[in-house]
Amino acid sequence: MTTGDDIAAMERLAIRSDQDVVRVRQLVRTLAVSVKLSLVDQTKLVTAASELARNTLVYGGGGTVDAGRVDNGRRSGIRIVFTDQGPGIADLDLALTDGYTTGGGLGLGLSGARRLVDEFDIDTVVGQGTTISVIKWCR
């Protein structure tokens, strides 16, 4: 997160089931519309959120998501933070490689989500968990 970003109240949801992944998509969609992201950017952000929420569930063993509006003085955007207390990611470079997966998926979740947002920060400690923060700015 860039210093000086003004963050409005974040909404929090738990991610414990498939249904919660759907709720995350709905929350992010509502927020994306509220800051008037373009249709393509809304679609990209909701898709990224869906990938990351599923990762939190499948690889992190569940966790939470916090999402809200962010302003940096020039632009508005949406910031979403995914947090889990799962096993963490041992080899981050590998995990961010297209096609790499440990879970039987396509291996596009993390790498693909990163391409769909403007800012992507990942903080992971093996044995303690992973926090991923993304921002999509209005053009």
Partner 1 sequence: MERVPVLKIGDILLVSIQIDMEDQVALQLQEDLADRIVGTGCHGVIIDISALDIVDSFVGRTLATIASISRVLDAETVVVGMRPAVAITLVELGLSLPGIRTALTVELGMALLARDRQFTLPDDDEDDADEAVVTAS
Q: What does the binding site for partner 1 look like in residue numbers (CB under 8 A)?
A: 18-19, 21-22, 25-26, 29, 39-40, 42-44, 46-47, 50-51, 54, 98, 105-106, 108-109, 111-113, 115-116
Q: Which is nearer to partner 1, 91 or 98 (CB)?
A: 98
Q: Are 73 and 96 in contact (CB under 8 A)?
A: no
**Considering the complex, what minimum distance in angstroms separates the CB of residue 123 from partner 1?**
23
**Considering the complex, what minimum distance in angstroms separates the CB of residue 113 from partner 1?**
8
Element (H, E) at 109: helix 109-116
**Considering the complex, what minimum distance in angstroms separates the CB of residue 67 from partner 1?**
16
Q: What does DSSP say about strands 76-84 and 129-137: parallel, antiparallel, or unpaired? A: antiparallel
**Phi/psi zone of residue 4: left (φ > 0), alpha (ψ -120 to 50 degrees), beta?**
left
**Considering the complex, what minimum distance in angstroms separates the CB of residue 19 from partner 1?**
6
Q: Which is nearer to partner 1, 42 or 83 (CB)?
A: 42
Q: Which is nearer to partner 1, 5 or 29 (CB)?
A: 29
Compute how many other C-beta atoms are within 10 angstroms of the C-beta atom of residue 81: 20
Phi first, then psi, for residue 62 (nearest 5°) are: 100, 165
